[in-house]
């Protein structure tokens, strides 16, 4: 009988078409499955926890796999020697046979990082945004999200989600030296949701939308005034929380 394992990964998504396997495009899943096949000499299909789009990074994301052979402690070292430098397997932990890395996740946390002075060391990991922002307005906009459950206004078209309801546990902006960071945690996220929230709140911070207009966008359940222009490189999946 196969044993189920949770495979924890981290990656720089700059060179990849996303997390989930796709035809005619390189992805995180494709690279990890290739490394597993190279090392174990058997095809091991993976199930992913949280999809990330092209160019999005992760400090923590998960696959689960049913392994037909025992996993040894040194296997992660050997697999990491096979994987590209921008992907790392952080752990491989045996779990219950019915554990599911997507459906058993209780919450997911993201951060979106902006920087306001040109910095070549942040270029592929944050959004260069050299505009004056009102931090008070950004914080108020972030706080409004706690009042709502339906975030259809921030889901890109063809999202295929069975519901647009999400429960927000944390939503805040923080200034750290030259960087401005938006942190958000929820039980689930819709396709494009964080980047839509960030882009639209930045309009509030620049005075292009009022807080009342932002609230009306949320309530409209319509993406026509949502700004999805915040680029992928500023977004990082920080943590997925389980209670197994």
Which residues have a catalytic role annotated? Answer: 53
CB atoms under 10 Å from CB of 50, counted, come to: 20
Structure tokens given for 226: 């949502």
CA atoms within 13 A on the CB side of 86: 17
Alpha carbon distance 110, 118 (integer Å): 23
Q: What is the dihedral of CA 181, 107, 155, 137, to 10 degrees?
A: -30
DSSP 36-93: HHHHHSS----EESS--BTT-EEEEEEEEEEESSPPPTTHHHHHHHHS-TTEEEEEEE
CB 112 within 8 A of CB 195: yes
CB 230 within 8 A of CB 127: yes
Alpha carbon distance 108, 188 (integer Å): 7
Q: How far is CA 43 from CA 66, 106, 136, 153, in A?
A: 11, 29, 52, 40
Angle formed by the axes of helices 75-82 and 28-40, to 10°?
120
């Amino acid at each position: 009988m196969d044993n189920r394992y949770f495979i924890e990964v981290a990656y720089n998504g700059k060179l990849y078409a996303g997390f989930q396997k796709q035809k005619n495009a390189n992805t995180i899943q494709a690279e990890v499955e290739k490394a597993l096949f190279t090392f174990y000499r058997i095809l091991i299909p993976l199930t992913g926890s949280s999809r990330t789009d092209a160019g999005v990074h992760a400090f923590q994301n998960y696959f689960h796999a049913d392994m037909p052979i025992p996993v040894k402690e040194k296997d992660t070292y050997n697999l990491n020697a096979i994987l590209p430098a921008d992907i790392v397997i952080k752990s491989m932990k045996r779990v219950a046979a019915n554990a599911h890395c997507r459906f058993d996740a209780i919450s997911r946390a993201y951060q979106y990082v902006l920087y306001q002075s040109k910095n070549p060391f942040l270029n592929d990991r944050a959004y260069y945004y050299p505009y004056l922002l009102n931090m008070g307005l950004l914080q108020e906009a972030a706080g409004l999200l706690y009042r709502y459950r339906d975030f259809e206004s921030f889901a890109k078209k063809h999202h295929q989600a069975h519901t647009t309801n999400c429960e927000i546990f944390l939503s805040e902006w923080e200034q750290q030296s030259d960087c401005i960071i938006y942190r958000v945690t929820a039980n689930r996220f819709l396709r494009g949701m964080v980047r839509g929230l960030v882009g639209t709140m930045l309009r509030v911070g620049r005075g292009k939308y009022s807080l009342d207009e932002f609230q009306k966008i949320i309530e409209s359940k319509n993406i026509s005034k949502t700004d999805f222009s915040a680029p992928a490189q500023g977004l990082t999946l920080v943590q997925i929380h389980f209670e197994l």
